[in-house]
Amino acid sequence: MAAMSAAATTTPNSFLLKSTTSATQIAAFPTTLSRSFTASTTVHKRITCSSTTLQTPASTASTTSSDRVFNFAAGPAILPENVLLKAQSELYNWRGSGMSVMEMSHRGKEFLSIIQKAESDLRTLLNIPENYSVLFLQGGATTQFAAVPLNLCKPDDHVDYIVTGSWGDKAFKEASKYCKPKTIWSGKSEKYVNIPSFGSLEQTPDAKYLHICANETIHGVEFKDYPVPTNENSLLIADMSSNFCSKPVDVSKFGVIYAGAQKNVGPSGVTIVIIRSDLIGNAHPITPVMLDYKIHAENKSLYNTPPCFGIYMCGLVFDDLIAQGGLSEVEKKNVKKAQILYDTIDGSKGFFRCPVEKSVRSLMNVPFTLAKPELEAEFIKEAAKEKMVQLKGHRSVGGMRASIYNAMPLAGVETLVAFMKDFQARHDV
């Protein structure tokens, strides 16, 4: 395991969260995340949280590389270490306000500055056009499976779904309660390992929208480009939960983009919806108030108490992504990490296997199996001993899955690859 140990020490990746009981024990960190990267130029103006500067004495929180694991969970998932440390430093007394973000009124000036800055930074990252609204909601992407047809369709309207995995299938089934969806392509018969040629799709002429899941978390299938609805009045709708903010996206191609935050941009509890503003206001009469985009847009995501701390964490992540140089730079890192892992799988002479067609393999979720399935439980157990956790595949698929989201450091993938090679050397007899 010498190679693995060497890789594991490439980058320290952990910290010790120490309990504190007074303001003097809160670790001091700068009010903005400090990174060596330069933010990309953008037409959007960034805003600053309106609060006093955090004033605390020298840090008493210690950090150690031995306490953190490499977390390959599909979601909730790994968060950037410097974001966690920033949140730790502000947990007790947010920037001199005298209270934690978890204690703030969602209508107070402190939290208003937090949510406004989060939206501003997300607009910068994705270059979101001005004629699109950004909503911070709750309920996960699964709730949007109902919200989308309820807001965009009448009961007799036709809509099209491309089903490339479990989540696309669930979205289709939920839509059938509120409109007339049609699956124009499904990869289920081949166990969801591919994406169709767009030219071969037979779209419904009067479909109100075409729905895709941009990245299937369970099966590891990702759209590298996006289909265009053949009906000029139709919309492209995308569930981007597991590759949201992992690469640049032309938002103007979509009517609606929605995503659960717990993969790439925050903790569980926040759902982000980006919707072209002229599509708001046509909800079906039976639409519950909490699923009506118009209600949330008019109230700037504050119709009721939002997931305040989750939105705050998303804001810190957005700030961090901007500091890295924006999503083009983030994508380069993600491509490099994925390439290392896929090369190891493909170069193992069949010991490890990834079933997904190479051209549509996900940069975020890498499913793989062993030629000897009886070794998979041992692989997962030994990996956990080496502080690589949550590698077990989804219960519906089996095998292993490594989720390597934005926050997974290169060292984590290098450590996994070294372990895989060592495991093969010991078991490929």
pLDDT in tens, 138-193: 999 999 999 999 999 999 999 999 999 999 999 999 999 999 999 999 999 999 99
Number of residues that make up the chain: 429
Strands 132-137 and 271-276: antiparallel
- Residue ranges of the chain whose pLDDT lies below 50: 1-43, 51-63
> Which DSSP symbol is given to 392?
B
What confidence score (pLDDT) does residue 49 get? Answer: 66
Q: Which residues of 144-174 are buried (b: 16+ CB within 10 A; e: fewer)?
A: bbbbbbbbbbeeebbbbbbbbbbbbbbbbeb
The one catalytic residue in 208, 263, 337, 392 is 263
Q: Give the pair of three-digit tokens for residue 182.
A: 């049609």
What confidence score (pLDDT) does residue 45 get? Answer: 57
What confidence score (pLDDT) does residue 44 get? Answer: 56
What confidence score (pLDDT) does residue 48 get? Answer: 65
What confidence score (pLDDT) does residue 30 get? Answer: 40
Residue 90 and residue 99 in contact, taking contact as beta carbons nearer than 8 Å: no
DSSP 351-389: SEE--S-GGGB-SSEEEEEESSGGGHHHHHHHHHHTTEE
Residue 294 and residue 303 in contact, taking contact as beta carbons nearer than 8 Å: no
Helix 327-346 vs helix 410-427: crossing angle, to nearest 10: 0
Instruction: Give the separation between CA 159 and CA 184, rounded to whole angstroms.
Output: 10
Q: Give the pair of three-digit tokens for residue 38.
A: 């330069």
263 is catalytic: yes
239 is catalytic: yes
What confidence score (pLDDT) does residue 396 get? Answer: 84
Q: Give the pair of three-digit tokens for residue 333.
A: 């890192």
167 is catalytic: yes
Residue 54 and residue 29 in contact, taking contact as beta carbons nearer than 8 Å: yes
Task: Note the pLDDT tens digit of each residue in 322-353.
Answer: 999 999 999 999 999 999 999 999 999 999 99
Strand order across the beta sheet in which 365-370 lies? 352-353, 365-370, 400-403
Helices (H), ranges, 98-200: 109-126, 140-152, 166-175
* Residues facing 215 on adjacent strands: 222
The one catalytic residue in 121, 239, 292, 319 is 239
Instruction: Give the separation between CA 390 and CA 159, rounded to whole angstroms.
Output: 36
The one catalytic residue in 86, 94, 167, 337 is 167
